[in-house]
Structure 1
Amino acid sequence: MIFRLLSTLLAFVACLALLPVAAAGEARGNGDYRLGQGDAIRIAVFQNPDLTLDTRVSESGTITYPLIGTVAIGGMTVEAAEKRIADSLREGGFVQKPQVNVVVLQVRGNQVSVLGQVNRPGRFPLETFNTRLSDVLALAGGQTPVGADTVIVTGLRDGQRFRREIDFPAIYIDDRNNDDILVAPGDVVYVHRAPVFYIYGEAQRAGSYRIERGMTLQQALALAGGPTLRGTESRIRIHRRAADGEIARLTLEPHEAVQPNDVIFVRESLF
């Protein structure tokens, strides 16, 4: 009985030990996999055993390699990383025709962080190598009611800092499928709070409200319940901050758009 239990336990431990190797093998076999922070790799140069190196990709997406120093490979495919190292060795005059081989030993950087106004913020594993922005937001439970339509994605691409702001609903409303980008290991997806407007004075429900897409002054007033019995729609004033920081007092037509942080003052009727 004890022998059987020990055999089962050893088999389980062996399976756990093989998991990183299996993931690394999948990464190597998939040309779309991009190296991420914390990935353990082995670099070898044909007929140059002194240049064999086991290392990890740093938080900045770089490695330090003999002769050529710091090399940025974060966000690169394995093939692209091999080419960059080979080019550096050749251009530096260290190896005439380098044949570089990069092997992913352990996948550690295949996670993405989702922060801000989502229902389940946190870090999520990239279980496949073609995970898109929509997949990641779904894992995080989607945006909260106060989450903005614009989603910010930051990370590394080909060793360079990457940042992109994406109008997420437009992917489906305007058929912008190209904006549903592939996320890479180490990416951070951030959903900011949605822009709001403020309304006070003779409004039924004074307060702050989310600005919906294309919202007009008339729609904003309706969202606040309209004017009170003492209020009027004809004497509404808008306080809007200009680019220089000055506050402008405007009078808008009902069909004109409300802008973020507009302050709407519903005046009292004269009669």
Structure 2
Amino acid sequence: MTRVFKIVTVFLAAQFMALAALAQDGYSIKPGDVVRVEVLEDSSLNRESLVLPDGRITVPLAGTVMVGGRTVDQVRSDVTSRLSSNFASDPTVTVSLIQLGEAPKSTGTYSSDIEVYFMGEINTPGMASVEKGTTLLQAIAIAGGFSRFAATKRVQLRRTDSSGVQKVYAFNYEDVLAGRTSIGGTVLAKGDVIVVPARKLFE
């Protein structure tokens, strides 16, 4: 058991070091990556965000921030500037790369499917095998859309990272249709779970 623990620890440490190296080498953040923003002066602003297909994330008090195609240092500088008016002096902001997104879909003749899961008020719940590169919105269509009892304002994309920690990304499906968010274009990863809660009585 101890040996297994050591192996897992070494693996996780190696992954963290690889991410840190990418950041130091000027890695450009891409859609599907997960970044963490921390503000020393106000921990309530700390959060991890999935970079949406349009390259943006949302940071409290700073609004929508373009991070795609930029380094963590560039994002940190931008967020610091946006938050500065809310503090007596420039806040201490840290931006880190937590998880890399899925690699781009291969253009070769061979492709493999991934397994994703649907739960709740979806017309075809359960496991579905979808082609790599399938987006969240396409997957909902593949599952036949929502049932008439679906709480479409509270749909969730649940993704487990390589360390076993699950992240929940909630969104309003009406915002997707209206173009107010681009999360519907998020490319699904193996094991993703799409959860559609039931509507409440007066919802």
Q: Please tell me the TM-score bracket, short chain as reference.
A: 0.3 to 0.5
Q: Which has the higher strand share?
A: 1
TM-score, normalised with respect to structure 2: 0.45
Higher RCO (CA-CA < 8 Å; seq separation 6+): 2
Q: Which has the higher helix share?
A: 2
TM-score, normalised with respect to structure 1: 0.35
